[in-house]
């Protein structure tokens, strides 16, 4: 098992390196990279600033060397300064990381707490009200556009009914503020979990080993949870990595809708303002988070399904 983990970690590092390469080449693809630092409709850069930037980016050296300089800085968390704020990018990212992580956490809780149990219920009580409820929830989650759900939520629950706050994260922790953003973020994934768990349960419950377990005399509830569910959960587990990856995307929209001070909204404003260093930092951070999540799910998956461990 530990060999497996080491292999996976090494693989992740390698992928991360490739990602940095890709991000770097993106900045060099349009010719002179300093152009990216010039704001549209702004004053441009003075000749001195232009030259200074050239030195900073080591433009006199070959591209490969530039890359190495850049990489060295990046590893030390020096990603330059944001063009708009003039604050170091790493600092901005750090401030925004917390809110996004918290939102992602609650979103994930919602997605699993709703998706998986409903999926099991929907499979076990096929044709009943639970089944239709579950499938309805799943359908809506996958067809309603994320931003529209958030906006309608604000409209109904914040503006009309005044039950929940409009948005934004307050300074001290307030659970009420998480409700709508978490649901908005997580609903699409809840739908995915639901459908996946449901079909996995249906497949498993039809299998021969379940029949044998019942033939052994194991009682129905134990068969359901110990034998069936344990097998059915494998598929949703791998799905988790997709879910959390989807959150990266979903966070951009959700945070924008709710004015949430996290990485997603940061990404949006960065694009809007053409703030290149910030974008680069965001991309690196997102990639890293994505790879980390993948790593964890891979390990978890191997732990749960013994067949994987030995390959």
Residue numbers at the binding site for another protein (CB under 8 A): 26, 29-30, 36, 126-127, 139, 142-148, 151-152, 154-155, 159, 162, 166, 192, 195-196, 199, 207-209, 211-220, 227, 230-231, 234-235, 239, 245-246, 248-249, 252-253, 256-257, 267-268, 271-272, 274, 276, 279, 283, 286, 290, 294, 304-307, 310
Cβ nearer to another protein, comparing 116 with 154: 154
Query: What's the min distance (Å) between Cβ of 231 and another protein?
Result: 6
Cβ nearer to another protein, comparing 65 with 220: 220
Q: Please answer whether residues 16 and 291 qualify as being in contact, where contact means their C-beta atoms are separated by less than 8 angstroms.
A: yes
Query: What's the min distance (Å) between Cβ of 130 and another protein?
Result: 14
| Tokens, residue 283 | 């991309």
Cβ nearer to another protein, comparing 51 with 168: 168
Cβ nearer to another protein, comparing 47 with 127: 127
Distance CA 212, CA 146 (A): 44
Query: What's the min distance (Å) between Cβ of 186 and another protein?
Result: 16
Cβ nearer to another protein, comparing 107 with 192: 192
Q: Please answer whether residues 110 and 186 qualify as being in contact, where contact means their C-beta atoms are separated by less than 8 angstroms.
A: yes
Query: What's the min distance (Å) between Cβ of 95 and another protein?
Result: 20
Query: What's the min distance (Å) between Cβ of 232 and another protein?
Result: 10
Distance CA 281, CA 239 (A): 27
Cβ nearer to another protein, comparing 4 with 268: 268
- The 10 Å CB-count burial string (b at 16+, else e) for 61-81 is eeeeebbeebeeebeeeebbb
| Tokens, residue 124 | 């076990």
Beta bridge partners of 81: 88
DSSP secondary structure of 24-69: HHHHHTTSSGGGGGSPTTS----HHHHHHHHHHTTTTS-HHHHHHH
Query: What's the min distance (Å) between Cβ of 138 and another protein?
Result: 10
Cβ nearer to another protein, comparing 7 with 259: 259
Cβ nearer to another protein, comparing 51 with 207: 207
Query: What's the min distance (Å) between Cβ of 305 and another protein?
Result: 6
Query: What's the min distance (Å) between Cβ of 158 and another protein?
Result: 8
The 3-state secondary structure of 103-123 reads HHHHHHHHHHHHHHHHHHHHH
The 3-state secondary structure of 238-270 reads HHHHHHHHHHHHHHHHHHHHHCCCCHHHHHHHH
Total Cβ atoms within 10 A of residue 55: 9
Percentages helix, strand, coil for the chain (3-state, rounded to 5) are 80, 0, 20
């Amino acid at each position: 098992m530990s060999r497996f983990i080491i292999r996976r970690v090494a693989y992740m590092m390698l992928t991360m390196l490739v990602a940095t390469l890709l991000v770097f080449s993106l900045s060099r693809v349009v010719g002179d990279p300093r152009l990216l630092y010039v704001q549209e409709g702004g004053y441009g850069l003075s000749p001195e600033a232009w030259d200074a930037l050239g030195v900073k980016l080591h433009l006199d050296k070959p591209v490969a060397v530039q890359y190495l300089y850049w990489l060295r800085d990046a590893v030390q968390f020096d990603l330059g300064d944001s063009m708009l704020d003039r604050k170091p990018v790493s600092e901005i990212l750090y401030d925004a990381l917390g809110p996004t992580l918290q939102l992602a956490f609650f979103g994930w809780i919602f997605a699993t707490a709703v998706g998986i149990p409903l999926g099991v219920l929907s499979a076990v009580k096929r044709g009943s009200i639970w089944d239709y409820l579950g499938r309805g929830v799943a359908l809506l989650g996958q067809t309603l556009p994320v931003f529209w759900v958030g906006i309608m939520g604000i409209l109904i629950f914040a503006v009309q009914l005044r039950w929940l706050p409009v948005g934004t994260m307050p300074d001290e922790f307030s659970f009420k503020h998480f409700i709508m953003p978490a649901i908005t973020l997580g609903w699409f994934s809840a739908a995915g979990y639901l459908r996946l768990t449901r079909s996995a349960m249906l497949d498993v419950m039809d299998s021969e080993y379940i029949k044998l377990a019942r033939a052994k005399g194991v009682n129905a509830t134990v068969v359901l949870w110990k034998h069936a569910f344990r097998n059915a959960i494998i598929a949703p587990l791998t799905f988790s990595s997709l879910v959390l990856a989807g959150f990266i995307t979903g966070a951009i929209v959700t945070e924008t809708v709710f004015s949430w001070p996290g990485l997603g909204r940061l990404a949006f404003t960065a694009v809007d303002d053409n703030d290149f260093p910030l974008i680069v930092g965001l991309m690196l951070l997102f990639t890293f988070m994505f790879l980390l999540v993948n790593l964890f799910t891979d390990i978890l998956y191997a732990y749960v399904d013994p067949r994987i461990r030995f390959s």
